A and B are shown apart, each in its own frame.
Chain A
Amino acid sequence: MNVAYYPGCSAKGSSKDYEISTQAVCRALNITLEEIPGWNCCGSTPAHAVDTELSAALCARNLDIAASQGAKLLLTPCPSCLSNLRAASQRMEKPEFRQRVNELLDTPAAETFPEVLSVMQGIAMQLDKENLALRVKKTLKGLRLAAYYGCLMSRPADRMRFEDPENPQLMEDLLTACGAEMVDFPLKTACCGAAFGIPERAMTARNSGRILELAARLDVDAVITACPLCQMNLDLRQTQAGRALNTRFHMPVVYFTQMLGLALGLPRKQLGLNKLAVSADKLLGKLDDPRLADAEGGQQS
Chain B
Amino acid sequence: MRIGVFICHCGSNIAGTVDCAKVAAIARSWPDVVYAVDPMYTCAEPGQAAIEAAIHEHKLDGVVVASCSPRMHEPTFRRTVERAGLNRYMFEMANIREHVSWIGKDMEANTNKAAELVRLAVEKLRHDVPLTAKQFDVTKRVLVIGGGVAGIQAALDCAEGGVPVVLVEREATIGGKMAKLDKTFPTVDCSACILGPKMVDVAQHPNITLYACAEVEEVSGYVGNFTVKIRKRATYVDWNKCTGCGACTEKCPSKKTPDAFNEATGTTTAITIAFPQAIPKKAVINPQYCRQLTKGKCGVCAKICPTGAIMYDMQDEIVTEEVGSIVAATGYDLMDWTVYKEYGGGTYPDVITSLQYERLMSASGPTGGHIVRPSDGREPKNIVFVQCVGSRDKSVGRPYCSGFCCMYTAKQAILTKDHIPDSQSYVFYMDIRAPGKMYDEFTRRAMEEYGTEYIRGRVSHIYPDGNGRLTVMGVDTLLGRQVEIKADLVVLAVGIEASRGAPQLAEKLRISYDNHGFFMESHVKLKPVETNTAGVFLAGVCQGAKDIPASVAQGSAAAAKVLGLFAKDKLESDPQIAQVDIQRCVACGKCLRCCPFGAIKGTEFRGEPKVQVIETVCQGCGLCTSTCPQGAIQLQHSTDNQILAEVNALCQC
Contacts and interface: CB of A to CB of B under 8 A. Distances in A.
B372 to A, nearest CB: 23
Contacts of B467: 217
A190 interface: yes
A186 interface: yes
A218 interface: yes
B341 A167 contact: yes
Nearest to B340: A166
Nearest to B470: A186
Interface centre among B344, B345, B463 (most CB of A within 10 A): B463
A164 interface: yes
Interface centre among A186, A187, A214 (most CB of B within 10 A): A186
B461 A190 contact: yes
A166 B466 contact: no
Contacts of B342: 166
A166 B342 CA distance: 6
B464 interface: yes
A160 to B, nearest CB: 15
Interface string B410-441: 00000000000000000000000000000000
A214 B465 contact: yes
A157 to B, nearest CB: 10
Contact of B464 (A164, A165, A166, A186): A186
A167 B340 CA distance: 11
Interface in A186-215: 186-187, 190, 214
A205 B483 CA distance: 16
A165 B341 CA distance: 9
Contacts of A165: 341
A221 to B, nearest CB: 15
Interface string A81-120: 0000000000000000000000000000000000000000
A187 B342 CA distance: 10
Contacts of B465: 214, 217
A217 B345 contact: no
Contacts of A167: 341, 345
B341 A164 contact: yes
Contacts of B461: 186-187, 190
A217 B341 contact: no
Interface in B302-346: 341-342, 344-345
Contacts of A187: 461, 463
Contact of A214 (B344, B345, B466): B466
B466 A217 contact: yes
Interface in B453-496: 461, 463-467
A166 B461 CA distance: 10
Contacts of B344: 186
A214 B467 CA distance: 9
A190 B461 CA distance: 9
A187 B460 CA distance: 12
A214 B465 CA distance: 6
Interface centre among B341, B342, B466, B467 (most CB of A within 10 A): B466
B457 to A, nearest CB: 17
B579 to A, nearest CB: 57
Nearest to A217: B466
A251 to B, nearest CB: 14
Contact of B341 (A166, A190, A214, A218): A166
A145 B401 CA distance: 42
A214 B341 CA distance: 19
Contacts of B464: 186
B463 A218 contact: no
A218 B464 CA distance: 11
Interface string A222-259: 00000000000000000000000000000000000000
Contacts of B466: 214, 217-218
A217 B466 CA distance: 6
Contacts of B341: 164-167
A89 B136 CA distance: 68
A187 B466 CA distance: 11
Contacts of A217: 465-467
A186 B345 contact: no
A167 B341 CA distance: 7
Contacts of A214: 463, 465-466
A166 B465 CA distance: 17
Nearest to B463: A186
A187 B467 CA distance: 15
A153 B19 CA distance: 61
Interface in A165-193: 165-167, 186-187, 190
B485 to A, nearest CB: 13
Nearest to B460: A190
A211 to B, nearest CB: 11
Contacts of B345: 166-167
Contacts of A186: 344, 461, 463-464
Contacts of A218: 466
B473 to A, nearest CB: 8
Interface string B213-227: 000000000000000
A198 B464 CA distance: 30
Interface centre among A166, A187, A218 (most CB of B within 10 A): A166
A186 B466 CA distance: 10
A164 B342 CA distance: 11
Nearest to B339: A166
A6 B342 CA distance: 32
A186 B461 CA distance: 9
A217 B342 CA distance: 20
B12 to A, nearest CB: 40
A188 B467 CA distance: 18
Contacts of A166: 341-342, 345
Nearest to A214: B466
B486 to A, nearest CB: 12
Contacts of A164: 341
A165 B345 CA distance: 13
Interface string B137-153: 00000000000000000
Nearest to B343: A166
B351 to A, nearest CB: 12
A287 to B, nearest CB: 24
A151 to B, nearest CB: 11
A214 B469 CA distance: 12
B587 to A, nearest CB: 60
A51 B130 CA distance: 71
Nearest to A183: B466
A187 B345 CA distance: 14
Nearest to A215: B466
A131 to B, nearest CB: 29
A187 B484 CA distance: 14
A76 to B, nearest CB: 26
Nearest to B462: A186
Given A165-B341, A214-B463, 18 more contacts: A164-B341, A166-B341, A166-B342, A166-B345, A167-B341, A167-B345, A186-B344, A186-B461, A186-B463, A186-B464, A187-B461, A187-B463, A190-B461, A214-B465, A217-B465, A217-B466, A217-B467, A218-B466
21 contacts: A164-B341, A165-B341, A166-B341, A166-B342, A166-B345, A167-B341, A167-B345, A186-B344, A186-B461, A186-B463, A186-B464, A187-B461, A187-B463, A190-B461, A214-B463, A214-B465, A214-B466, A217-B465, A217-B466, A217-B467, A218-B466
> What 3 A-B pairs come out closest when comparing CB atoms?
A186-B463, A166-B341, A217-B466
